[in-house]
Chain A
Amino acid sequence: MSVAADLQQTSSAEAIAADLAAVLRDITAANELVPPDADLVSDSFGAIGLNSVDYLEFVLNIESRLNIDVPDEALMDPALKSVLAWADWLAVNAERLRTPDLAAR
């Protein structure tokens, strides 16, 4: 990957991370199990206090917000353990996951 493309991807990842953190902030606003000092960007979902249902809620919200369809395998990937990890992954993959149908709903 060229330096320019690398920079573009980094900047894209940062923007996505901000977007995802906003999603997470929304859905954890009423979650009394989330520590007040949690870093929603870099802490692992486990440390933030998300269980498997919370996690699915987060993913479904991402799909709606970004108009993408996340493949089932990604939900089983332990490497996608934080907003930061999701943002890096989406910076590379979001375009191919785009779903016009979802966007039109």
Chain B
Amino acid sequence: MAVAARSLTRVALVGPREEPFTDDPEREHRETMLRSYEEIVRDVATFGSDYTVSREFLGIEYLAASLRRAGRTVRLLGASNEGLSDKAVLDALIDFAPGLVGFSLLYDLQLANALILARQLKLVRPGTFVVFGGPLASAIGQLLLETFDCIDGVIEGEGEAAIVALADTLDAGGDLTGVPALQHRTLDGIIANPRGAPLDLDDLPHPSRDGIASIRARGLPVPSAYLTTSRGCKAFCTFCSVPNIVRGQKGGTYRMRDPRDVVDEMEAVVRDQGVSRFYMADDNFLGYGEESNRRMLAFADEIVARDLAVSFHAECRVDSLVPETLMRLRRAGFDQILFGLESGSPKTLKRWAKGQTVEQNEAAVALARRLRLDLMPSMILLDWESGLDEVADSVAFIERTALYRSGQPLWLVNKLKVHCGTAAARRYDNVHGRPSLPPLRDDETSLRRWCATVTYQVTPIENPHVAAFWSALNAEANRWSVLLDEAVPAILKALRADHRRDAADTLALVSRLAAYRRSIGPALAGLMRLLVDAAAEAERRHRPPAGLDRLARHYAAEHELQHFPAGILETLTGSGAGDPIPRRVSVAARPLASAG
């Protein structure tokens, strides 16, 4: 369908605000504690290794760079990064008056707010062309266009060439069927234009660093910059949204950048933005085979040759590791490695099509430790169809490899999230039928309910013994998480201030707190063992899995009392540091001490 010619030079790109869903009491606490970067900086005394990630939105920064190279005026609004409310984003959009607005949806927690904003924007400025993109929108584009009049188009997969072509077409009043990868309405219904050829990553301009500039403009510290050295992945893990993004790209499934160009970009970000740490956002940083390995070596050597004082984090598959390459990368600043281990159960790894073995997982953990890399293990303890034998295998794996000895042991308590467009979603639909979507009205409540249903927010665990294990474990992990992630930062901030007045007392208290913080990992492993054994015993005896929650509560309370006989919050709030603990935290955490 041809659209009317109009003057269009401005493009706004929005990273919508994330908001947790509230309809699942079994949800992990960390998923509900989304905060803006400014709030994180305000609340913590130190980043340490717990807070290395900024909220920079690299996807829209890539789009902005391509649009600006094409001569367009672009405004980026990263809601989480900038701490913008929906109203603030809407006001900024109205003020900027773009002809084209793109909403980038990385994942489910952004969907409702993006739709609310798009609706409001269309009411005020109906002539604005609204396009959605990103992994989530790519997965449900057809449904979004069928359901929401406020969306004019959805771009599937890579967006750089598509958004530039879309802007040009709108300016020229041309035919939208020529815009690659665009789904849009026509007189004949919704059509999906063919995706274009995979982009040559070395032809793309370096991303515009508006996110970092915004942080710096507000006088906040810049912890790290995101960076990609490659795109895509050749694996087909059932839970991952990447296979849907690279679908049909044949040789372009995994593409690499020229390592010298990557280091050029790093050098520019160090020079222009004062950044010294990078968070590699590659799907699989180390890549595949000899060509990837040569590229990694060239990348490491280039950083060393230019004497760039940087450090970086990257995510890797365990079947891509070459010790010599890792050592060269370590010399170049690679100090933190996230492995997608996922499971210690051969059955689970096979069911999730992970394409790697438990033995490879164990070897990778050992290698990372031998090379003295900071290891961040990514584990998914179970999914909705896990058997207790699979969970027991993973608990034993965690014990054997001492994975709980990491800076973030609570990340081990993780249930598989079913993401739209994945093989896991198709499997869930096959077993349970497609979700029956609730009716939509104009109100926010019905919209959020619709979003929760379409994004699989509640996937009940089938096996009652696994369900009881998860419920008891997650409840205590959530209490620990509330304490460590919400109470402790505020306490540390107060103790830091106290230390300037009275060094000795404060140091003793910080030492106790540090010992308690370190003990959470081993205590968590002990709790997993206790619960999985109790659940297995009940299953063996064909008894209902009763009492696991009480068992877990008693265990965690005993653990706390060993470190703080008077109760941790009582001890810390009585330290003279005032009462730095938010009310919601003390309410959520207090039952620990009184349980038993």
A contact set with B: CB distance below 8 Å: 27, 30-33, 35, 37-39, 43-47, 49-57, 59-61, 63-64, 69, 72-73, 75-79, 81, 102, 105
Contact = CB atoms under 8 A, between A and B. Distances in A.
Nearest to B521: A33
Contact of B335 (A44, A49, A60, A64): A44
Contacts of A76: 41, 44, 46-47, 221, 223
B507 A60 contact: yes
B309 A75 contact: no
Nearest to A54: B514
B145 interface: no
Interface string B385-411: 000000000000000000001010000
B66 interface: no
24 contacts: A27-B514, A32-B522, A33-B521, A44-B336, A46-B374, A50-B48, A50-B407, A51-B50, A52-B44, A52-B46, A52-B489, A53-B510, A54-B518, A55-B46, A56-B45, A57-B511, A60-B503, A72-B45, A73-B221, A75-B45, A76-B41, A76-B223, A77-B276, A105-B503
Interface string B268-308: 00000000110000000000000000000000000000000
A52 B51 contact: yes
Contacts of B522: 32
Interface stretch (B5-13, B201-209, B418-426, B492-500): B492-500
- By Cβ-Cβ distance, the 6 closest A-B pairs, closest first, are A46-B374, A52-B48, A46-B49, A55-B48, A76-B221, A78-B277
B367 to A, nearest CB: 13
Contact of A54 (B374, B500, B517): B517
Given A47-B336, A56-B495, 11 more contacts: A30-B515, A32-B518, A51-B514, A52-B45, A55-B48, A59-B46, A63-B499, A72-B496, A78-B47, A78-B224, A81-B335
A86 to B, nearest CB: 13
Which of B41, B506, B515 has the most chain A CB atoms closer than 10 A to its own CB? B515
A75 B47 CA distance: 7
A30 B4 CA distance: 72
Interface of B: 41, 44-52, 221, 223-224, 276-277, 309, 311, 335-336, 369, 372-374, 405, 407, 488-489, 492, 495-496, 499-500, 503, 506-507, 510-511, 513-515, 517-518, 521-522
B445 to A, nearest CB: 38
Contacts of B506: 60
Contacts of A32: 518, 522
By DSSP majority rule, is chain B's interface helix, strand, loop, or mixed?
A: mixed
Contacts of A60: 496, 499, 503, 506-507, 510
Nearest to B502: A105
Given A33-B521, A56-B492, A76-B221, A50 B372 contact: no
Contacts of B311: 44, 78-79, 81
A58 to B, nearest CB: 9
A43 B507 CA distance: 24
B507 A78 contact: no
B48 A51 contact: yes
Nearest to A101: B500
Nearest to B516: A53
A49 to B, nearest CB: 7
B449 to A, nearest CB: 37
Which of B372, B503, B513 has the most chain A CB atoms closer than 10 A to its own CB? B372
B373 A47 contact: yes
Contact of B513 (A30, A53, A63): A53
B335 A56 contact: no
B335 A77 contact: no
A68 B351 CA distance: 56
A69 B48 CA distance: 18
B277 A33 contact: no
Given A51-B518, A73-B221, A81-B311, A57 B50 contact: no
B374 A77 contact: no
A76 to B, nearest CB: 4
Nearest to B517: A53
A55 B511 CA distance: 11
A53 B519 CA distance: 12
Which of B50, B489, B510 has the most chain A CB atoms closer than 10 A to its own CB? B510
B562 to A, nearest CB: 15
A51 B48 CA distance: 6
A39 B335 CA distance: 13
